Chains A and B, each alone.
Chain A
Amino acid sequence: MKTMNTPLTPSVSRRSFILGSGGLALGLSFGLTQTELALAQAPGAGGFGPNSWINIGLDGVVTLMSPASEMGQGTMTAMPMLLAEEMDLDWSQVRVVQSPNNPKLYGNPRFGGGMTTGASRTVQGYYEPLRLAGAQARLVMVNAAAQAMGVPAAELRTEASRVIHSSGRAMTYADIAKVAKVPAELPKVDKSMLKPMAQFRLIGKDIPRVDVPAKSSGQALYGIDQRLPGMLWASVLRAPVQGETPESVDDTAARAVAGVKNVVRLPYGVAVVADSFYTAKMARDQLKVVWTQKAKARAQNSDTMRAEYIKRAQNLDDKGVAFIAHGDAAKQLAGATRTFSATYTSEMVSHICLEPMNCTARVDGDKIEVWAPAQSASFVTGTVAGAGGFKPENIKVNITLLGGGFGRRVEADYAADAALVAKAMPGTPIQVIWTREDDMTHDKYRPMTGQHLVAGVDAQGKLVGLLHRVVSEGVYARVVPPAFKASGGKDAPVMEGTEITYDIPDHSVQFMIEDRGIQAGFWRAVGPGYTKFAIETLIDEVARGVKADPLAYRMDLLKKHPRGQAVLKAVGEMSQWGQAKLPQGHALGLAFSDAWNTYCGMVVQVSIEKGRPKVHKVWSAVDCGHALQPQNVQAQIEGSVIFGLSAALHEHMDFRAGEPQQTNLNKYQVLRANETPEVIVKVMPTDNHPGGIGEVGLPPLAPAMANAIASINGKRLRALPLPMV
């Protein structure tokens, strides 16, 4: 029988950092104060720590910190690999631990130094800092070896956790760790000292992911698997409509259920605490709650919302906020030889992280410790501080493995549940688990959108102007209002993907914000999921309209972008674009994506079966710059293709009077194995800073499908999910 302390794998224990983050640790590049530096330098459990990311055990095992949340994207392998690459570590002797929640030491510069994982920014944000940390640690080892061996450092090189002298004499890093002292001043490192691409030993090789063995045997531990002595379970009744709160509560029947330990009123619901989750949930169903009837969401019906969004998107007098204003698109469109215009819609969609939202917490006086499968320790800290009145320095957040994230776990409302219930029962560990129904009713959906696009071409058929209008609920507007205001009302995640590398001289993007009270949030490829759908289907329509081949037309638009051209050319060759002999009724469709600083060309082979598109095959060529783990890049592209296919074919949340009509998987279809196409991905590394990869396959999938359908029957599909054809 498994005990609660079973490590994730022998080499990857996400708890071991609690025992000792080890060695002599030094702040590297995150601007530590002297006090913090002194704290960080306190001796640890043994071994030698050239800096806060790395500890070299006397037994030769090197422990590396992984700062981001592992949700299937492979970050727990990718981040440590960057340290190991520059430090010339023997990868077989590396052990990975989840870093503590310490933004000053481990924060992501791409999130203003916050401990947040999302928006495809982990590799993008940590690529240089972690390589520099590895390079610096390598120098510390070399200098210490030089002293120990009595030779000049210039005569030393490093390989596989060893420092080797030109004479052939060598010391292992473990030997050095026994005698080394952290220098008073750490060696200075800069970008020019990093390895050139040709010298990579780990980056670009298919290193197996460190979390895979435990995830292939049922041993991996997620947030929901957290166990603490004396722990109780809680289930929270929330309102049937977002935004309502309890007016009155009768908990007599719930309290009478055997096994119930407590009923706790929350500002937004009622928690039942019991000795098992099932008891808590059954008792919760006995609560009689009268809810307020004042929420904004209550007035919302999907059909009317959609109609209003379309109308607003088409009303060119309502200019909203200028998100992009390059040149004078209006003037170009007025003078264009021909214009193409189209209106698009997308429905709200849910995340369905397979691990339902959950959180575990224990309160001890004015301190609280939290275990959360969360994408952001910073958001968890903020939420727990805000909801429970704890001081940030009294909140300890442990990030567990995540059973799916997809943007949902950036926000931390489940942590408020755990904090509030744990605060009501000091000393008792509380695990709050949401049901799937809770999850789908109180999700932060990819927003419904209405988009209207107008493209103008000159007499030669060249694109001269593009107007792109997006109507949507805000995401930043709700989640980070100060940042939203500071940006002048530009809601970046909502509008992501409207920036394009196509060479269109006059390009105008307008954002018309809605505030309907149904929460919109981060989702996998949130903005590009619908903005690229609109752009890439309209470009295709324009190309066909001017009698150009859609691939050749895009190549022309990418004249100044060789990386974009290269992926399109490659995917054209992979799919035999223009020459493929396809079965009767099949067609190919093409799309391009440039989001997250990664270039992706995609072709899909589609037929129509019983009025629905069927995808047989997907080809994709991807240039993400330095590809850390090519096999994982393929897996992420394929995963996001399938996520996108699921959304394009099946997914929609419908609301009537603010109530979601789909609250579990019997009403909300997601893609299953038998609908899965073959996905062929060609990774085309280039010597560029890495772009994001976890979301890249999603944006081009739906427009490529719609473009293929147009080739089959001439019908342009302009709604997500794709309508009957």
Chain B
Amino acid sequence: MVRMKVNGEAVSVDAKPETPLLWVIREKLNLTGTKFGCGIAQCGACTVHLNGEPVRSCSLPVSAAEGKDITTVEGLMKTPTGQALQAGWVKAQAPQCGYCQSGQLMTAAKVISVVKKNLSRTEILEAMSGNICRCGTYNQIASAVSHAQKTLQGGKA
């Protein structure tokens, strides 16, 4: 049994301790927003937050989450940051196939939470370069992140 908090709810799951957190989230908790892409922490599709820090859930054994706070994209969307990001994504019509976007959103949430100044396109692209988008929506993501950042600062986006 592994005990952790997922999106604010205490859960205990019966899984082999070495099972990657990704599969526990997707199969045991049925939170399918977190995606499988490469299995070796290269593409970022499986990004979740562990105690507020982005981690690659495909390569993190569930045992490492014992007693920790996990946030998935489903949890993020309940926060003002998540909602601002979604609005930015929609405004920029950012997703194409959309499969990578949960991971992009999780990374973006961290990026805008740690930087207070308005980030430039280049700075956002640099900060987002751990997440692969095969459809090539990077520029739209940059514009969406910038939009969300402005919304959260209360300024006009």
User: Which residues from chain A sit less than 8 Å from chain B, CB to CB?
Assistant: 1-4, 71-74, 208-209, 211-222, 224-225, 227, 233, 276-279, 352-356, 401-406, 433, 435-437, 631-632, 635, 638-643, 646, 664-666, 670-676, 678-679
Contacts and interface: CB of A to CB of B under 8 A. Distances in A.
A436 B98 contact: no
B1 interface: no
B139 A218 contact: no
Interface residues of B, number: 62
Nearest to A640: B136
Contacts of A642: 136, 138
Interface string B122-142: 001110111111111111111
Given A221-B32, A404-B97, A674-B129, A643 B136 contact: yes
16 contacts: A215-B95, A215-B98, A218-B76, A227-B32, A276-B23, A277-B27, A403-B99, A404-B99, A437-B39, A640-B136, A642-B138, A670-B134, A672-B130, A673-B129, A674-B125, A675-B129
Nearest to A73: B96
B93 A209 contact: yes
Nearest to B100: A354
A2 B74 contact: yes
Nearest to B29: A1
A676 B125 contact: yes
A619 to B, nearest CB: 14
A676 B139 contact: yes
A403 B39 contact: no
A219 B33 contact: yes
A220 B86 CA distance: 13
B106 to A, nearest CB: 9
A217 B86 contact: yes
Nearest to B127: A673
B137 A354 contact: no
Interface of B: 9, 15-16, 19-20, 23, 27-40, 42-43, 45, 72-74, 76-77, 82, 85-86, 89-90, 93-102, 105, 124-126, 128-142
A405 B97 contact: yes
B26 to A, nearest CB: 8
A679 B73 contact: no
Contacts of A276: 15, 19, 23, 27-28
A436 B90 contact: no
A402 B97 contact: yes
A371 to B, nearest CB: 13
B33 A208 contact: no
B95 A354 contact: no
Decide if the interface of chain A is mainly helix, strand, loop or mixed. Answer: loop
- 9 smallest CB-CB distances across A and B, nearest first, come from A218-B33, A642-B136, A215-B98, A403-B99, A72-B96, A218-B73, A72-B97, A216-B89, A215-B95
Contacts of A4: 30
Residue among B43, B74, B89, B136 having the largest count of chain A Cβ atoms under 10 Å: B136
Given A277-B23, A354-B132, A635-B93, A673 B142 contact: yes
Contact of A665 (B42, B74, B93): B42
A34 to B, nearest CB: 41
Contacts of A217: 33, 73, 77, 82, 86, 89, 105
Given A72-B96, A635-B96, A642-B138, A665 B132 contact: yes
A215 to B, nearest CB: 3
B56 to A, nearest CB: 12
Residue among B16, B32, B38, B99 having the largest count of chain A Cβ atoms under 10 Å: B99
Contact of B141 (A2, A436, A673): A673
Contacts of B82: 217
B30 A2 contact: yes
A295 to B, nearest CB: 26
A278 B23 contact: yes
A148 B47 CA distance: 58
Contact of B136 (A71, A214, A436, A639): A639
A689 B104 CA distance: 37
B80 to A, nearest CB: 14
Nearest to B98: A215
Nearest to B101: A215
A339 B4 CA distance: 72
A639 B76 CA distance: 27
A236 B133 CA distance: 26
Contacts of A220: 98
B98 A401 contact: yes
Nearest to A225: B32
A66 to B, nearest CB: 15
Contacts of A225: 32
B31 to A, nearest CB: 6
Nearest to A6: B32
B98 A403 contact: yes
Nearest to A435: B39
Given A213-B86, A216-B94, A674-B129, A406 B134 contact: yes
B91 to A, nearest CB: 9
Contacts of A666: 40, 42
A354 B74 contact: no
A437 B129 CA distance: 22
A690 to B, nearest CB: 19
B123 to A, nearest CB: 10
Nearest to B107: A673
A639 B135 contact: yes
